[in-house]
Amino acid sequence: MYWNETIETMDTERLRALQDERLREQVRYTYDRVPFYKKMFDDAGAQPGDIRTAKDLEKLPFTSKTDLRDNYPYGLFAVPMDEVVRIHASSGTTGKATVVGYTASDLALWDECVARALTCAGGTREDIVQVCYGYGLFTGGLGLHGGAERIGATVIPASTGNTARQITMLQDYGSTMLCCTPSYALYIGETLEKNHIPLSTIHLKAGLFGAEPWTLGMKEEIEKRLGIKAYDIYGLSEISGPGVSFGCDGSDGLHVNDDHFLIEIVDPVTGKVLPDGEKGEVVFTTLTKRALPLLRYNTHDISSITHERCACGRTLTRMARITGRSDDMLIIRGVNVFPSQIESVLLSVGQVEPYYMILVDRVNNLDVMEIKVELSADAFSDRVRGIEELEAKIRASIESTLGISTKVTFVEPSSLPRSEGKAKRVIDLRGENQ
């Protein structure tokens, strides 16, 4: 199903020509209206006319989150405040918030992108969409809300928290689509099981989950526990919010809304653009944003892209599932480790719940890693020898996958923290204990 078949299945050459045309317009618009970017061009010895196609973007440096914070709150806006109709912000863990502004046209294109994602997941005006992302300054809640209204669906603005109430709404209001973080979807499923609530009492058919990296194993777990089809939706507040790209039934990748966002994959060390299929940092240039246009914004998310036509029929650029962020990557004894790699191992082994915590410390100048993971109820009641064998199996699998040894500690079912938003999987104590 397509929301905008003309764009989503456009001939590749025409789509690239549209991108280049919009890129030229956006570069000139940004240069003329944002002093930060005029200085960037001048410092790089470039002029707007030098950027004719996507390949020319390499002539420009990257924009970073630091740049947004240094120009806090409105220094990168390209329009006066009387044209800004909404503000969102992302606080992150340190420093000032990154503030994002939207014109009326920005909100319209955002709704359009989310509408494509919902339609791809089978959403129609007949659906009842329960949005359990946070509302307010976070873009998740209002982003999915606007897209659902755009397709004519009924929206339940449930926001986060109060899981018992969320389940009551799922039952009583007849919700057919669920939108939240993957970790919260998993928690809803776990709560249903714990309270012996049969899936037959809820009416969900599909869910759109994002805002944190999640593996195919997690996807399968959510689908099993909620009896639905699970779809990925990707975005970040600086670029627009959820809807920058979205998953389909045809592949494991996500379709980038190429008519609004131009994606590059760059080497994290050299900054050089990488060819299709190679993993690196995701960089976006907005092509139609008016309030906050961004050129070559480095997200630090790790992915790869392909331009091959998808089995679903879409010709949009396809990005692989995000494996993590380069700045969230753990370096353990010289080895690059992403939490998603550990999650994949745990879910493939079985007999454990999809809840884990990674603890990293430095002991006698040596990095050590411990993984706390919940045993399934069946495994927890198993004989000691069986648990020891399972521990050895997990340790061997992690060592084979990552090339480093780790300690595995089993904990009781339901003993690790649950999250109603983004899950916190890592505790790094190395800086504290130096």
Residue that has been written with the tokens 């809807």 in this structure: 243
Q: Phi and psi dihedrals of 223, rounded to 5? A: -60, -40
Contact in structure between 186 and 354 (CB atoms under 8 Å): yes
Q: What is the pLDDT of residue 56?
A: 98
Rounded to 10 deg, the angle between the 12-33 and 35-44 helix axes is 100
> How far apart are the C-alpha atoms of 107 and 101, rounded to whole Å?
10
> How far apart are the C-alpha atoms of 347 and 340, rounded to whole Å?
10
> How far apart are the C-alpha atoms of 125 and 252, rounded to whole Å?
26
Q: What is the pLDDT of residue 432?
A: 65
Q: How does pLDDT run along the chain (434 residues), one tens digit per residue?
A: 999 999 999 999 999 999 999 999 999 999 999 999 999 999 999 999 999 999 999 999 999 999 999 999 999 999 999 999 999 998 654 568 899 999 999 999 999 999 999 999 999 999 999 999 999 999 999 999 999 999 999 999 999 989 999 999 999 999 999 999 999 999 999 999 999 999 999 999 999 999 988 999 999 999 999 999 999 999 999 999 999 999 999 988 999 999 999 999 999 999 999 999 999 999 999 999 999 999 999 999 999 999 999 999 999 999 999 988 887 788 888 788 888 889 989 988 888 988 999 999 988 888 899 999 998 877 776 666 688 889 999 999 999 988 888 999 999 988 998 887 788 888 988 876 55
> How far apart are the C-alpha atoms of 263 and 57, rounded to whole Å?
11
AA identity, residue 202: I
* Assigned token pair, 72: 């806090």
> How far apart are the C-alpha atoms of 129 and 384, rounded to whole Å?
45
> How far apart are the C-alpha atoms of 183 and 241, rounded to whole Å?
19
Contact in structure between 54 and 48 (CB atoms under 8 Å): no
Q: What is the pLDDT of residue 224?
A: 96
Give the 3-state secondary structure of residue 40.
Answer: helix
Q: What is the pLDDT of residue 338?
A: 85
Q: What is the pLDDT of residue 176?
A: 98
Q: Which domains does the chain have, with CATH numbers?
A: 1-323 (3.40.50.12780), 330-428 (3.30.300.30)
Q: Tell me how far apart the terminal alpha carbons of the chain are, to the nearest angstrom.
A: 55
Secondary-structure percent of the chain, ordered helix, strand, coil, rounded to 5: 35, 25, 40
Report the run of H or E that residue 25 belongs to, with start and end.
helix 12-33
Q: What is the pLDDT of residue 376?
A: 86
Contact in structure between 234 and 246 (CB atoms under 8 Å): yes
> How far apart are the C-alpha atoms of 124 and 51, rounded to whole Å?
40
Local structure of residue 325 (DSSP, 8 states) = B
- Check the CA dihedral 129-5-250-325 and report its sign: negative
For the chain, how many residues are written?
A: 434
Helices (DSSP H) in 205-261: which residue ranges? 216-226
Q: What is the pLDDT of residue 418?
A: 87
> How far apart are the C-alpha atoms of 83 and 330, rounded to whole Å?
42
Other CB atoms closer than 10 Å to residue 417's CB: what's the count? 8
- Check the CA dihedral 229-152-119-105 and report its sign: negative
Q: What is the pLDDT of residue 54?
A: 97
Q: What is the pLDDT of residue 280?
A: 96
Pairing status of strand 206-209 against strand 229-236? parallel
Pairing status of strand 407-411 against strand 366-375? parallel
